[in-house]
Structure 1
């Protein structure tokens, strides 16, 4: 039988495993390439590769390689293939194209050009113009442009082979089936399964690892549940030969099911994930083989109802924090996983697939093998562990050995740096204790890069923490910075005696314009906090800033104390927290102006939270600088806190506080009633008040008095001035 030239594609990093698999399935001249494997095979072996490969995405039959420096040259090259040998009469066509060169830069155009060449040739020979079907064509052509040549192949697989046919339901971030298979192969599962060892996944999600493990254990071909392969509608398809290959696979699966008596268990805390897993397991025909149960990680132990299990494999793909805000809870999840493994699975093998190896360090287990892998485009690692067999402890499944609270308070696993950081935060809290009692606020800064290696700010909002990681300098090793951040998140729950889920983590970089106000998430969860006599709403997830600038607390307090019976104007009001203080302080009326309707609505909620609904409290959406020039009303107290820089599209001009502050102050003073005061502040560290303003008005620099005790380490965090007319 003639040998076919094949190219099997696969995810990056799986090429070596796929080459071994191809050789085992009978392929010859196997050579690993980037993201795939070249080989030669008979048609029978090609069928086997499509049916049995657990790792490949596609099996491509190479037809021709020719020049393609230009689109016209590529058109001519495509015509060298006799497409009538492959296309069914009145069949449909699809073309997948990859690669570019100096002349061919658009893959969509290139695919169209290849399609035209094929259709034009077939029409000339048959008189029929074949149409395109992107979903399930009679013939799927793969064209790959590389170094001036186009490689033309027939896709024997049809849809990607990772689609086994059982998974229609997925959890939040399901593994692809061929990646799950690779994880199991690297973990040694095929050998363990032959010995009848059990497999458990404590965070099984939609069950992909469990299902792939069961298919391997029962010697069932991965593609046996698929309803379609590309070669089904290939003109040279040998139906009888295919049925022989398929019948052999069915027989092996039948024998494997009867022989397998091992245990494959999955647990997950998410009911939604388990529903998806159960549906997938049922579609795979494995509902009597694979068992899944809802169970928190804290209760993860060997299933005692199954008797005394021989040591097997724990394989899992825990979440690994694609968003930085996920990290606080994940640190304790990994810590918990490590403790459960050490206490309940002595002698077992463990494989953890993760995109964050620093989280795995929190497990307290040392990996003996690591493999670099990819989950899509995301670099990941598979870490293999062997749990020491020197512990005979067994734990009842209805009672965890250590609660989450106990884990949080356990300082024994902290690094030296983590202890140093914790001690500094505790020292700060001790120094702030008397001040906090007097201040009557539950929102304050507890730590601000006091130790250079731990460049974070920790702000307290009641029983929640808002942690801002300052972007490290380029001279700092990113891996070290990441480990230090994990130290921070690990120790904070114990220092403050809070749940890890109450830690909200953000990375702060240098911001331009209103970037600090832009949306980062969509949780829309508001937390009510108190500041003196005021109640205020903060959002600790959706924006870089929370809706409450803690360093301006004394300024807001001062405005509240000075506002009784006054007409108060709050410019660049943000969430109107200063307006709330003014209203609570007895202001006769307030006007709050900002360009953002989002923050004006937030400000209105803050006012209503404190009982202020009336028309005397006005909110105006406008460019503050423009509105101030046009306004004719007088005010007794004006607060103006402009951004350092803003180039919002809705503004008439670009705002630069250093350049524009003198003009803005003069416009504000124009509408200031006799005897009134303008409180002007900004956050530009290098700010210098214009000399002409100092000559024209009575300007008092109150910056020092306006910086609160909890920001004493950073006295230049803002500048603040009280400006009046000379008597």
Structure 2
């Protein structure tokens, strides 16, 4: 049997694995190269590579390598190949192009030149021109450009070999099948499967790792489900030989499925992923073997009592909110593996190797793979069981403080009728976290980590966060999905209000009889500043029959309290459409009709009783103070940001620099017996003494801090100003 050259391509990083696999399949002179492996093959071993390679992307038979300095030399060399000796004119074909060439600027143009060359050669030889079919061609030609050289090859598989056939058409997955197989092979799964060790994926997605693992364990050829092959319309194809090899693979599959099978199981928190994984497993012929259940990875348990391989491809993201969620995921995953999977081997495939340190596990092997254009790492660990306690002895002081705070604050909250409060605020220097509890009525914990100074070892800070989150989960007995983590850093302008995620998951909490929406994931803050709770209650009690002006209103919680308290008018002003719409929802879910104005109404336009206006607060105040007949308010609440350079406003706002003018303008709209409440959370803020000449001022900070915020320094400073 004649021998001919092949080039078998694969994802970058697994070339050595591929070379070993091809050698085991009987190919000769195998050499790993960038992006694949070259080899010498007989027709039988070429067929075996197509049918049995778990790692290959394409099996290419080079036809000619030549210089192609421009499109015309490419055309001439392609036209010189005896194409009618390879396939009939009745067969359709397509040309795929990879690589790049300085002389040929566009790969699509290069493909057109080769297509024309093939068609013209058929015409020159007196045959009809074969049809081009870019979707489902009978024959696929591969052109590889490499600087001034080009190689034309026949694609024996006809389509990428990672498409096994158990996925529905058009469904893409973050992990291709051949890369999943490489992860399992590199992790030692074949040897573990031979010992009937279990395989478990706690974030299985559509089940790719599980199905590939089952096929490896049962000796199932990865090409058995494919309906079409490129070589079937190749004139040198030998159907009898191919059918014999396929029958052999079917016999091996029956034998493999009939023998004792290792447990293969997984779970996923997304019900849609669970459904897809089950469907894929059924299509792959292992639906009665591979067990997939809905569940959170951070609450998963081993499927059997004996240890095995836990493998997963955790998600990764680029948005700030997704980044925070990943930090929480990796931090708690490492703790969970120690708690539940002691004695197991773990293989974590991630594009975020920096997050691997968050696991708190020491990788004994790290391999570099590429998932398409994304550089990834395969981290492997032996998981040592945790100590007798659920999360070990580290962080016990934090856990004790958390329990002590909970015991004290729970009693206070029940007496005060408070359901949303801060339970911990960097009480211990090593655990720089702010933890707020919200009853929706399900309990949620909103955790903000204060960024560690540069003098602190990052590994130490990561360990402290890992311990803190793990103890928090244990003490509160909360599922990880209801722990929401953020990293809090110094913010400028409107950065703290910038959207960080896209969950659109709003929850309703109740505060002193007011229903308020909160969002734990999409923004740095939840939409409800808990430290202002007493001040909002104060406004609610004073608002009956009064007119309230809420400046820099954020999500309008203060306006809601005033309206629920019987205010006859509330006017809420902010620059953000997002937060004004949020404020409108807050008002309306309390039965208060509110109108949102896209810009400041004209002077003679009457406002709705409960109005929200989008405009620059300082500009609006200046315009109102410039009118002969000014609007008058009995209560004014002014809680500005410490600094803002929003493009939507004129200039910048620095509350230390600008508060004097701001408060003077507020006083200009304050009724004779009215009250102006001014609050700021700027550390070191100093109120201008000159304001005492025009207003009576009382520092009421202590009165506006509840039990959960009585820690120095105060979360905010607050004054009430009245006309003299």
Q: Is TM (by shorter chain) over 0.5? A: yes
Match of 2:511 in 1: 531
Partner of 2:77, secondary structure, is: coil
2:526 pairs with 1:546? yes
Structure 2 portions without partners, runs of 5+: 595-607, 625-629
Partner of 1:49, secondary structure, is: helix
Match of 2:111 in 1: 115
Match of 1:449 in 2: 426
Could you say if the C-alpha distance between residues 411 and 613 of structure 1 is closer, same or farther in structure 2, counting changes exceeding 3 Å? farther
2:294 pairs with 1:317? no
Does the Cα contact within 8 Å between 1:57 and 1:162 map onto a contact in 2?
yes
| 1:554 positional shift | 3.8
Match of 2:605 in 1: none
Match of 1:262 in 2: 260
Match of 1:395 in 2: none
2:376 pairs with 1:379? yes
Match of 1:39 in 2: 39
Alignment partners' CA distance in 2, 1:538 and 1:11: 44
Does the Cα contact within 8 Å between 1:372 and 1:382 map onto a contact in 2?
no
Could you say if the C-alpha distance between residues 487 and 98 of structure 1 is closer, same or farther in structure 2, counting changes exceeding 3 Å? farther
Q: Deviations over 1:601-623 (max 9, x none)?
A: 33233334445448632233334
| 1:244 positional shift | 0.9
Q: Deviations over 1:672-712 (max 9, x none)?
A: 22333333334444656568767665555655665555445
| 1:114 positional shift | 1.0
| 1:41 positional shift | 3.4
| 1:467 positional shift | 0.7
Q: Deviations over 1:409-450 (max 9, x none)?
A: x97143444223223333444665676466542322222334
Match of 1:423 in 2: 400
2:16 pairs with 1:19? no
Match of 2:612 in 1: 619
Match of 2:471 in 1: 491
Aligned 1:133-532 pairs, distance under 5 A: 133-138=133-138, 140-143=140-143, 153-168=153-168, 175-191=175-191, 197=196, 199-201=198-200, 203=202, 206-233=206-233, 237-240=235-238, 243-258=240-255, 260-268=258-266, 273=273, 275-286=275-286, 290=289, 292=291, 294=293, 300-302=302-304, 313-317=308-312, 323=322, 324-325=324-325, 350-355=345-350, 373=369, 377=374, 379-381=376-378, 383=380, 385=382, 412-429=389-406, 432=409, 436=413, 439-462=416-439, 463-473=443-453, 478-532=458-512
Structure 1 portions without partners, runs of 5+: 304-310, 389-406
Alignment partners' CA distance in 2, 1:274 and 1:169: 18
Does the Cα contact within 8 Å between 1:169 and 1:280 map onto a contact in 2?
no
| 1:488 positional shift | 1.7
Task: State which of 670, 677, 691 in structure 2 corresponds to 1:679.
Answer: 677
Bigger CA drift: 524-533 or 570-579? 524-533
Q: Deviations over 1:549-584 (max 9, x none)?
A: 123334323433443432111122111111122234
Q: Deviations over 1:275-298 (max 9, x none)?
A: 43443334334456x353658776
Task: State which of 627, 636, 639 in structure 2 corresponds to 1:638.
Answer: 636
Would you say how many aligned residue pairs link Structure 1 and Structure 2?
680
Alignment partners' CA distance in 1, 2:230 and 2:418: 68
Does the Cα contact within 8 Å between 1:221 and 1:249 map onto a contact in 2?
no
Q: Deviations over 1:151-171 (max 9, x none)?
A: 555543333211111222999
TM-score (normalizing by structure 1): 0.78
Q: Deviations over 1:518-540 (max 9, x none)?
A: 33444444333343454433222
Alignment partners' CA distance in 1, 2:302 and 2:67: 59
| 1:373 positional shift | 4.9
Partner of 2:484, secondary structure, is: strand
Does the Cα contact within 8 Å between 2:198 and 2:307 map onto a contact in 1?
yes
Does the Cα contact within 8 Å between 1:15 and 1:33 map onto a contact in 2?
yes
Task: State which of 548, 551, 576 in structure 1 corresponds to 2:556.
Answer: 576
| 1:460 positional shift | 1.7
| 1:19 positional shift | 1.4
Alignment partners' CA distance in 2, 1:361 and 1:145: 40
Could you say if the C-alpha distance between residues 27 and 715 of structure 1 is closer, same or farther in structure 2, counting changes exceeding 3 Å? same
Alignment partners' CA distance in 2, 1:256 and 1:269: 26
